[in-house]
Amino acid sequence: MCEKKVEELTYVQLSTSINPSFWNKFTEIKLEVDKLGEIEHHIWGYYNVIPQKHGINLLEVDSTSFNEKFNGQNMYIPFHGKLINKNTIEQFKESNKTDLINDEGKSLMEKIKNELVLQDPSVLNNFFILSFADLKKYHYYYWFAFPVPRGLVVTKVASNLITETFSENEIQILCSQFKELDNNLRSYFLVERIENGCKLHTLQNKIKNVTLQNKNQFYFTFCNIANTNIAVGSQLKNYITMILYYCPFLQGQIANFIAFTLSRRDDFSVTCDKSIIYELKLPSQEDYTWVGWEKNERDRMGPRLANMKNTLDPYMLAENSVDLNLKLMKWRVLPNINLEKIKETKCLLLGSGTLGCSVARTLLAWGVRTITFVDNSTVSFSNPVRQSLFTYLDSVQMKPKALAAAENLKMIFPGVKSQGVQLSIPMPGHTVGESLLEQTKENVAKLRELIDEHDIVFLLMDSRESRWLPTLLANYSHKITINAALGFDTYLVMRHGLRDAGDARSDPVNHREGFKCINGTELGCYFCNDVTAPGNSMKDRTLDQQCTVTRPGVSQIAGALAVELAISILQHKDGAKAPAFYKSPQITSIQDADSENECLLGIIPHSIRGFLSSFEHILPATEKYKHCIACSDMVLKEYSENGMDFLLKVFNSSKYLEDVTQLTEIFNDIDLEDVLEFSDEDFQ
Amino acid sequence: MDASFKLEDFCASIENIVAISNSLMDGWTLHKKEGVENGKYITKKYSTSLTTSDANDIVVTFEYHIAYHLSYGVPVLCFRVWKQDGSLLSIEEYWALNENLKGSSMYDTLTQLDHPVLCQPFLTLHPCRTQEIIQPFLQHSKNPVISWLSVVGPFVDLTLPDQYLKLC
């Protein structure tokens, strides 16, 4: 391919790529070394001279760009750069771009004139980055520039493939001589045509020997950084500027150039036989101004913005990793699981002790982001070993449990929105005197507000009577309610029935022979169940009674089960209205009965009773008790009609509840020993 | 009994890869983190253009790492991909762009794990099946890492030229 047509050369500018490690190192230097100083840093750029698969070759900067010495591998040529960082976005915007690039150009001219360029020709490969780093947001504004003289016009007289001028053998010699050069000498050198072949010279050794008479035996060679062999890299203009300084007699003359281009043969070996020889007519030497700012991704003259928040901000790394762990579950095991729903669910934890801590941690692991703790006590010395959110120091400082739990949860995962509310929950039979009246009313109002703001209410207190008010309020507000209570080596985890909003009865659920099925709307609450305790022959003592004397594993197990039950409810199409089954004794597996109604995680029992002495679970389901002291229609009606007055009557005497629910009347029919325990003395 | 792939064998293999790479100007680099038993690993970068789902071409750079996993006792291939501004592609973004992984098993194959040496999250071909893949090479290949890479590399756009394979 031999062109004799006279035309201008086509120049291309380098594309740039920033290794994430560059921003990392830059941030470190800015924060730890430069601080408020606006210090310019020399930086190395790396250009790979071996063409890549898809013809994409980039100038790269990375963390090693800040090193004193260039330590690129053998396929890199160095670019000399400078990082000019501004402290404010205003300074970044207002800095004079023309002056900046002219200053860099002048500094390059200095390096040409003081012969530095001969020792290290790679200084002709120059660039700088103007930047501003918003380190709080991990936003980096940056603008690359590759200064070249403006208006330097070179005319292409002829061009042809190197193979037309040099023999295959000569080309091979050139290629191996090139590989022997130091990285910084590879960008620009001389090739001399000698009697029996050709010879490669460094500029330092030979450029001063070029004369007008012998110029035709020399080829000014440059490593072409254009990814195509019909164009040349814009740095050629710097090379020509240098040539004209050392060989001023070439002004207006035609000189030989080689655009040295490496490529791979089919056998992967490296060759330079795609190089192009140009005959170029050089212009006269002038004082140039300098241009070369890089266009941004919108093809405009303007800076780019690297948003490195997801890559560098440890907060985001934690956030994304937590989510990813759950997504792996979705991708691998449960493609239909609705993780967003879990993430958005707001959980209210009433009680911040062993159960509260265990529930919070398991919720966190499931990706729940909003967790509110309620408790009225402070961290005691015995707490930290059992209650996984507290430390010894919290007990020394007597921190309120709810607040300490919320704070410590954030230390575990800063992405959680956790808050602690110090609050005493009013209880039936705890007489409210005049002095406590206002406080009690406030507490009720606060509790009601909290319940309304959340989606799931967890009852995790250590006393039975403190569960009564939240059971009533959560039921009244149609909230999913999960209850967990502990005995010494037993535990109960259950969901409360979810009252139908429109009082409409749900359709009866079909159930198979041998199983009983109860609609989610008809399931009992904690208080119903104590009355109509399931057919468990074990000692029927109230679980709370020995609240603090428990096998330590019990709270971890029950807390985890409470969360897993809640998550299963969230994944069921009917939520807490999902029916529950319980089996008659002759049938072995409850899964058989409930397969039609299970969610993607499995069945949703009404309650789980566990016995550590035998390491067993049973899954009883019980209906609402129509005389229940907490969830019956009678109680709800009283509350909805008389509100605070009703509550105060209950607080002053739990006997009042028995009247309301007509329990007194039917007292003789059932053995209601458990209900009668509903008074203070039993808990002391 | 299955032969095991020892850390020394791994180090010899990757040093061999770097030596071949240097002669080919192929870009594999040896790194060593001091004070870490399995501190030696090798890396290589390459840039390419990928087409996003909304038909835009983006230029990305891959950086492959091959390190030794002490508990699995096998080499691990992990990598990061970044855009020109330095921001990393997430595993989901990468999946969306990688045709090779559009099979049902992609979630099992490629995941995000901590780099065995650097302890930072990297996209990783899960090492749990590596033992199975590398096993047949342990007796017959002079460089089991190369043999293994020639099998798994193409899944993530990493191909080794024949020059490496000749030495196996």
d(CA B123, CA B115): 9
pLDDT at A189: 97
Same domain, A268 and A302: no
Asked if A269 and B24 come within 8 Å (Cβ–Cβ), the reply is yes
Task: Indicate whether A338 belongs to any domain.
Answer: no
Percent composition of chain A: helix, strand, coil (DSSP 3-state, to 5): 40, 25, 40
Q: Do A270 and B25 touch (CB under 8 A)?
A: yes
* B7 min Cα distance to partner chain A (Å): 25
Average pLDDT, whole number, for chain B? 88
Give contacts of B160 with chain A, Cβ < 8 Å. Answer: none
Range among A253-257, A653-657, A659-663, A672-676 with highest mean pLDDT value: A253-257
SS3 A64: helix
Q: How far is CA B104 from CA A335, B59, B108, B109, B110, in A?
A: 12, 27, 9, 10, 11
Q: How far apart are CA A287 and CA A245, in angstroms?
A: 11
Amino acid sitting at position A95: S
- Scanning A545-662, the segments in alpha helix (DSSP H) are 552-571, 590-594, 633-652, 655-660
- The per-residue b/e assignment along A195-233, b for 16 or more CB within 10 angstroms, e otherwise, is eeebebbbbbebbeebeeeebeebbbbbbbbbbebebbb
* pLDDT confidence of residue A511: 55
A278: β partners = A159, A257
Residue A655 lies in a domain: yes
Residues 6+ apart with CB under 8 A from A34: A85
pLDDT at A52: 77
Over the stretch A83-102, which tens digit does the pLDDT of each residue have? 999 999 999 999 999 999 99
Beta carbons of A54 and B49 less than 8 Å apart? yes
Closest-CA residue to A272 (of A159, A124, A191, A168): A168
Q: Rg of chain B over CA atoms, in angstroms?
A: 16
Span A543-548, average pLDDT: 48
**Residue with more model confidence, A430 or A21:** A21
Please calculate the CA angle A333-A334-A336 and round it to the nearest 5 degrees. Answer: 155
* Window A:20-39, CB contacts with B under 8 Å: 20, 22-23
The distance of A56 to chain B (nearest Cα, Å) reads: 6
User: Cβ of B25 and A321 within 8 Å?
Assistant: no
The percentage of residues in chain A with a pLDDT greater than 70, rounded to a whole number, is: 89
Best mutation target among A17, A304, A330 (most B Cβ atoms within 10 Å) is A17
Amino acid symbol at A349: L
Angle of helix A468-476 relative to helix A437-453, nearest 10 degrees? Answer: 50
Domain-located, residue B2: no
Q: What is the pLDDT of residue A475?
A: 93
Q: Helix/strand/coil (H, E, C) string of A219-285?
A: EEEEECCCCCCCCEECCHHHHHHHHHHHCHHHCCCEEEEEEECCEECCCCCEECCCCEEEEEECCCC
> How far apart (Å, rounded) are the C-alpha atoms in residues A357 and A337?
25
ipTM of the complex: 0.92
Task: Report which DSSP code applies to A128.
Answer: E
Q: Does some domain include residue A323?
A: no
* pLDDT reading at A311 higher than 60: yes
* Min distance B159 CA to chain A CA atoms (Å): 11
Catalytic-role residue among A547, A599, A628, A631? A547
Interface probe for A, chosen from B87, B160, B165 (most Cβ of A below 10 Å), is B87
Residue A345: partners with Cβ closer than 8 Å, 6 or more residues away: A368, A370, A455, A456, A570
Name, in order, each residue with C-beta under 8 angstroms of B104's C-beta and a sequence gap of 6 or more: none
Distance from CA of B49 to the nearest CA of A (A): 7
The mean predicted confidence, pLDDT, of chain A is: 87
Question: Does the CB of A320 have a partner CB in chain B at under 8 Å?
Answer: yes
Q: Quickly list H helices, A147-223.
A: 168-180, 203-206
Nearest to A627 by CA among A619, A638, A617: A638
Which of A19, A48, A327 is closest, CB to CB, to B86?
A19
User: Inter-chain contact B91–A324, Cβ cutoff 8 Å?
Assistant: yes
Binary contact (A56, B82; C-beta < 8 A): no
Tell me, what's the pLDDT at B55? 77
Query: Among all residues of chain B, which has the CA nearest to that of A57?
Result: B47
Residue of chain B whose alpha carbon sits nearest to that of A54: B48
Please tell me the predicted confidence (pLDDT) of residue A651: 86
Are residues A352 and A225 part of one domain?
no
Assess whether A351 and A440 both reside in one domain: yes
* Any domain includes B50: yes
**For the segment A595-612, what is each residue's pLDDT rounded down to a tens digit?**
667 788 888 999 999 999
For residue B92, the model assigns a pLDDT of 84
Q: Does A278 share its domain with A300?
A: no
Identify the H or E element spanning A456.
strand A456-459
Residue A328 within any structural domain of the chain: no
Rg (CA), chain A: 40
Write out the two tokens for A90. 């205003």
- Which pLDDT belongs to residue A197? 87
Nearest CA among A491, A494, A618 for reference residue A558: A491
Tell me whether residue A547 is one of the annotated catalytic residues.
Answer: yes
Contact of A484 with A561, CB cutoff 8 Å = yes
Query: Are A367 and A442 in a shared domain?
Result: yes
Q: Are residues A60 and A189 in the same domain?
A: no
Which chain B residues have any C-beta within 8 angstroms of a chain A C-beta? 22, 24-27, 29, 45-49, 59, 61, 63, 80, 82, 84-88, 90-92, 107-108, 111-112, 121, 161-163
**Phi-psi bin for A503: left (phi > 0), alpha (psi -120 to 50), beta?**
left
CB B76 within 8 A of CB B127: yes
Which residues are CB-neighbours of A585 under 8 A, at least 6 positions away?
none
In a domain, A463, yes or no: yes
The residue in chain A having the minimum alpha-carbon distance to the alpha carbon of residue B29 is A73
What CATH number should be reported for the domain holding residue A619? 3.40.50.720
B44 to chain A: which residues are within 8 Å by CB?
none
Q: Nearest residue on chain A to B111, judged by CA atoms?
A: A328
- How many structural domains are present in chain B? 1
Q: Write the residue in A308, A328, A332 that is nearest to B87 by C-beta.
A: A308
pLDDT at residue A486 above 50? yes
Mean predicted confidence (pLDDT) in A567-586: 83
Which amino acid, residue A378?
Answer: T
- Could you report how far apart the first and last alpha carbons of chain A are, in Å? 103
Q: Given B45, B59, B87, which is nearest A310 (Cβ)?
A: B87
Q: What average pLDDT score do residues A41-45 get?
A: 97
Distance CA B95, CA B110 (A): 9
Confidence band for B97, pLDDT divided at 50, 70 and 90 = confident
Is residue A27 within 8 Å of A63, Cβ to Cβ?
A: no
Note whether A22 and A118 are same-domain residues: yes
- Domain membership of residue B67 (yes or no) is yes
Q: Is residue A170 part of a domain?
A: yes
Taking contacts as CB-CB distances below 8 angstroms, the residues of chain B near A327 are: 92
What does the pLDDT average to over A199-221?
Answer: 95
> Domain range for residue A135?
12-150+295-308
Q: Do A54 and A73 belong to one domain?
A: yes
Q: What's the confidence (pLDDT) of residue A668?
A: 54
A306 closest CB neighbour out of B59, B86, B90:
B86
pLDDT at A481 over 60: yes
What are the distances in angstroms from CA A277 to CA A164, A224, A234?
9, 11, 17
State the burial class of residue A677 (Cβ atoms within 10 Å of its Cβ: 0-12, 13-18, 19+): middle
B82 closest CB neighbour out of A19, A321, A327: A19
| Res A435: pLDDT | 83
Span B123-139, pLDDT tens digits: 999 888 898 889 889 88
Mutate to test the interface with A, among B17, B31, B43, B45 (most CBs of A within 10 A): B45
Distance between CA B49 and CA B56 in Å, rounded? 10
Nearest Cβ partner for B84 among A17, A140, A268: A17
Q: Which residues of B touch A18 (CB under 8 A)?
A: 82, 84-86
Give the model's confidence band at B140: pLDDT under 50 very low, under 70 low, under 90 confident, else very high: confident
User: Is the pLDDT reported for residue A526 higher than 70?
Assistant: yes
Phi, psi of A171 (to 5 degrees): -65, -40
Structure tokens at A608: 């789980």
Instruction: Please report whether residue B118 resides in a domain.
Output: yes
Residue whose C-alpha is closest to residue A232's, from A56, A5, A9, A75: A9
Within a domain: B168 = no
Q: To the nearest 10°, the Cα dihedral for A185, A186, A190, A193?
A: 130
* pLDDT score for A677: 41
CATH number at residue B97: 3.30.1460.50
CA closest to A61 among chain B residues:
B86
**Chain A partners within 8 Å of B85 (Cβ):** 18, 140, 304-307
Taking only the tens place, the pLDDT of each residue in B43-63 is: 999 898 888 777 788 899 999
The shortest C-alpha distance from B1 to chain A (Å) reads: 32
Closest CA to A598 of A623, A573, A619: A573
User: Same domain, yes or no, for A349 and A491?
Assistant: yes
The answer to whether residue A271 neighbours chain B at the CB level (below 8 Å) is: no
Q: What is the pLDDT of residue A57?
A: 79
Q: Per the domain annotation, does A321 fall within a domain?
A: no
> Is residue A539 pLDDT above 60, yes or no?
no
A665 plus A605 within the same structural domain: yes
Residue B104 pLDDT exceeds 90? no
pLDDT at A530: 60
Look at B84 and A58 and tell me if their CB atoms are within 8 Å.
Answer: yes
The answer to whether the Cβ–Cβ distance between A23 and B86 falls below 8 Å is yes
CB-based contact (8 Å) between A227 and chain B? no
Sort out which chain B residues have CB atoms less than 8 A from A17's CB and list them: 47, 59, 61, 82, 84, 86
pLDDT for res B100: 62
Same domain, A160 and A84: no
Residue A308 is which amino acid? M
Spell out the long-range contacts of A550-553 with Cβ–Cβ below 8 A and sequence spacing 24 or more: A550/A354, A550/A486, A550/A487, A550/A488, A550/A489, A551/A488, A551/A489, A551/A612, A552/A386, A553/A612
**How far does B10 lie from chain A, in Å, by closest CA?**
22
> Residue B37: which domain range?
7-162
Q: A520 with A664, same domain?
A: yes
B-contacting residues of A 426-465, CB under 8 Å? none
CB contact under 8 A, B121 and A321: yes
How many domains does one find in chain A? 3
The confidence score (pLDDT) of residue A533 equals 31
- Could you tell me which residues come within 8 angstroms of residue A68 by beta carbon, excluding any fewer than 6 positions away? none
B59–A56 CB contact, under 8 Å: yes
Tell whether A218 lies on the interface with B, counting CB pairs under 8 A: no
Tell if the CB–CB gap between B107 and A332 is shorter than 8 Å.
yes
- Which of A53, A304, A331 has its CB closest to that of B85? A304
Quote the strand ranges of A330-440, DSSP E: 346-350, 370-375, 417-422
> What's the CATH number where A302 sits?
3.40.140.70
Rounded alpha-carbon distances, angstroms, from residue A553 to A461, A464, A538, A550, B120:
17, 21, 20, 8, 34
- pLDDT bracket for residue B3 (50, 70, 90): low
Kindly report the nearest CA distance between residue B92 and chain A, in angstroms: 10
Q: How far is A194 from chain B (nearest CA, A)?
A: 29
pLDDT at residue A587 is higher than 70: no
Convert the pLDDT of each residue in A370-410 to its tens digit.
999 999 999 999 999 999 999 999 999 999 999 999 999 99
Q: What residues of A are in contact with residue B24 (Cβ under 8 Å)?
A: 268-270
**And the tokens for B54?**
């909304």
Question: Are B164 and B17 spatial neighbours (Cβ–Cβ below 8 Å)?
Answer: yes
In a domain, A452, yes or no: yes
The answer to whether residues A479 and A350 touch, using CB atoms and an 8 Å cutoff, is no
* Distance between CA atoms of residues B111 and B141, nearest Å: 28
Cα distances (angstroms) measured from residue A414 to each of A154, A279, A325, A406, B31 = 60, 65, 16, 11, 34
CA distance A133 to B88: 18
Task: Choose the weakest-confidence range: A49-63, A350-364, A531-545.
Answer: A531-545
